[in-house]
Structure 1
Amino acid sequence: MKILFLFLDGIGLGENNAEINPFARANMPYLESLLGGRKLLKESASSEGESAALFSVDPRLGVSGAPQSATGQAVLLTGINIPAEIGYHYGPKPNPEVAQYLDGKTVFAKTVQAGKTAALLNAYPPRYFEGIDSGKRLYSAIPLALTNAGLPLFTHEDYFAGKALSADFTGQGWHEFLNFPEAPIFETEEAGKRLADLARQYDFSFFEYWASDYAGHKQDMGSAVRQMERFDSVLKGLLEHWDSRDLVLLTSDHGNMEDLSTRKHTEADVPLLLFGEKSIRDEFGKDIHDLTGIAPAIEKGLGIRN
């Protein structure tokens, strides 16, 4: 079985309140059709359709305070309750206490050690690498885990060659913010199809979408709604070109965008969306109650669980 992990930063399961929750306002007909007409809300978990299921997952992990990016992402990649071990939630970038867990203990590392293939499907622009090389930028948890596993981050050349995807799915950001006028741009459904094509090349693949967390911190309802409506179209393109005998999972590290009444992270549960045949979804999700259950389920699905 192949597994694609869609990581949407900073999305929780919120209330059915269109004043503060873009998920209550956004028009997402494709996802809603998979969930029996339900929106991505707290009240919709747990729900199941023919090819999709939604669960509610605890990111708090028994530690006081709002969950944070570095620890939350590290837990997703390791299955270890890192906030409990170090005594606090931490973010946005890993400090040394968090970073130690991201070397040899992650799904990326274990997949490589088992002789299987893995990739982070995002393409990074030249100025990202310049920032890392100069010390002005630190790796966040996901690229740190990848590089610690000996896997490469994809570059703009990989994006141009069709080997990776833009962080905004379509590539529009390469034109508007990165000054690459020759960069490819895709319609949303086509971007989803390309994501499926890329993910099929690996046993385990990961895609990181961070703009959702940014919209939450900015309390930008318009941006949040547009993002989720575009994502619904990406998801349609992805799943219509995906083998249902393989698994797509979507989850997050903490709540944020589901409550735009605050700039801060929330303590809301996060969604776990599973796409694939029912027997595969049932087996994958049966022991997941909080963020620590996801990495072990991935390892078991890949046949690399110790």
Structure 2
Amino acid sequence: MSVFFVFIDGVGVGEKSEFNPLSDQNLKSFSYFTEGDGLHSGIQPSIKSDKLYLPIDANLDIEGLPQSGTGQASLFSGENASKIAGKHFGPFPYSKTKFLLKEKSLFHKAQIEGFKPHFLNAYPDIFFEKSKKRNRWTCTTLMTKSAGIKLNGLESLLDNKSLTAEIIQDAWRNSLNLDVPKITPEDAAERALSSLLEYDLVLYEYYLTDKAGHEMDSEKASKVLGVLDRFLVEIIENLKEGDTLVISSDHGNIEDLSTKTHTRNPVPLFVMGDTYAFKKAASILDVTPAIVETLKRGRK
């Protein structure tokens, strides 16, 4: 039994409106979980033994707009990074909360229980050069490095063992001029599903949703959501029996294109497979403990 955790940056549960590209029945993956027209606040939570949708809190009892640095540290540790910092902070990890990612992360917790975690994202050489020079890593890369897990680069991508941040590899070709093939979202999903045969826990991060939200660009939002939707539908339709798919976010953003800032909306928690440990989730702090519990349940 394996868990595939898809972290989608900047996705909240907002009102159904012309500014909310998530409230669309054509968004088949989200509609699968909500059993409604995409994702919006008018849809009721749904808890079943094999499928779950819950809106969960990302504000963590701290005023202001949630940010990626503290939000992701909270999501990936199960501890309130915003409260430790005394504020929401981002986009990079806050100095006082880095220990959560270095010592108490989801990957560390999985390893302590004897499970093998893996981070599916790949990064180009320029990312490693800049990050090392500044000694400034994202939450996911800091967590991965601190758990002793090698970050993927170009070689693993060419071996079909990892995925780029935009799924279909076009940015590496068009912006970085790297000789990598363009793939379909379905091809990418096959890579993800294959990784579940080798690892107990696989994490994939998709951040273009947050980027589109900041740009208040409905056309770009539609494009990045379309690629993501095809990727997730392929996962949903082909997930091996016994495996569990978990999807969640760190804060709201793209659900309200009338503003370029993050929102205080709840974020979605979608689960397909073993939903038992997630049924009482109330905030992003509950996701990591539930994933670890699900891994343990699968071992029994």
Call closer, same or farther: CA 1:85–1:50 in 2, change over 3 Å.
closer
Q: Deviations over 1:184-214 (max 9, x none)?
A: 2211222212211123321111000011111
CA RMSD of aligned residues (A): 1.8
Call closer, same or farther: CA 1:22–1:155 in 2, change over 3 Å.
same
Runs in 1 of length 4+ with deviation above 4 angstroms?
48-51
Call closer, same or farther: CA 1:14–1:23 in 2, change over 3 Å.
same
> Do 1:247 and 1:274's aligned partners in 2 also have CA atoms closer than 8 Å?
yes
Aligned with 1:303 (options 279, 289, 296):
296
| Cα offset, 1:74, TM superposition | 0.5
1:201 is aligned to 198
Aligned counterparts of 2:120 and 2:263: Cα–Cα separation in 1: 28
Unaligned ranges ≥5, structure 2: none
Call closer, same or farther: CA 1:34–1:112 in 2, change over 3 Å.
closer
Call closer, same or farther: CA 1:61–1:237 in 2, change over 3 Å.
same
| Cα offset, 1:236, TM superposition | 1.7
> Do 1:194 and 1:238's aligned partners in 2 also have CA atoms closer than 8 Å?
no
2:96 is aligned to 97
> Do 1:57 and 1:270's aligned partners in 2 also have CA atoms closer than 8 Å?
yes
Return the letter of the residue paired with 2:256.
D
| Cα offset, 1:10, TM superposition | 0.5
1:6 is aligned to 6
Aligned counterparts of 1:253 and 1:117: Cα–Cα separation in 2: 24
1:168 is aligned to 166
Call closer, same or farther: CA 1:49–1:170 in 2, change over 3 Å.
farther
Call closer, same or farther: CA 1:271–1:141 in 2, change over 3 Å.
same
Q: Which moved more, 1:50-59 or 1:148-157?
A: 50-59
Aligned: 1:266 with 2:263:
yes
Q: Deviations over 1:15-45 (max 9, x none)?
A: 1102x11112572235424543431112224
1:51-90 matches, cutoff 5 A: 52-90=51-89
1:229 is aligned to 226
Aligned with 1:140 (options 138, 141, 145):
138
| Cα offset, 1:48, TM superposition | 5.3
1:44 is aligned to 43
> Do 1:6 and 1:206's aligned partners in 2 also have CA atoms closer than 8 Å?
yes
Number of aligned positions between the proteins = 297
| Cα offset, 1:287, TM superposition | 2.5
SS for the counterpart of 2:162 is coil
SS for the counterpart of 1:184 is coil
Q: Deviations over 1:88-125 (max 9, x none)?
A: 11111012112122121111112223332111100101
Percent pairwise identity: 32
Aligned counterparts of 1:209 and 1:37: Cα–Cα separation in 2: 23
For normalisation by structure 2, the TM-score amounts to 0.93
Aligned counterparts of 1:256 and 1:35: Cα–Cα separation in 2: 19
> Do 1:2 and 1:202's aligned partners in 2 also have CA atoms closer than 8 Å?
yes
Q: Deviations over 1:131-163 (max 9, x none)?
A: 12222x621111101111111110011100111
Aligned counterparts of 1:88 and 1:236: Cα–Cα separation in 2: 36
SS for the counterpart of 2:76 is helix
Call closer, same or farther: CA 1:96–1:268 in 2, change over 3 Å.
same
Aligned counterparts of 1:14 and 1:265: Cα–Cα separation in 2: 12
For normalisation by structure 1, the TM-score amounts to 0.92
> Do 2:24 and 2:39's aligned partners in 1 also have CA atoms closer than 8 Å?
no
1:17 is aligned to 17
> Do 2:248 and 2:270's aligned partners in 1 also have CA atoms closer than 8 Å?
yes
Unaligned ranges ≥5, structure 1: none
1:105-254 matches, cutoff 5 A: 105-135=104-134, 138-180=136-178, 182-254=179-251
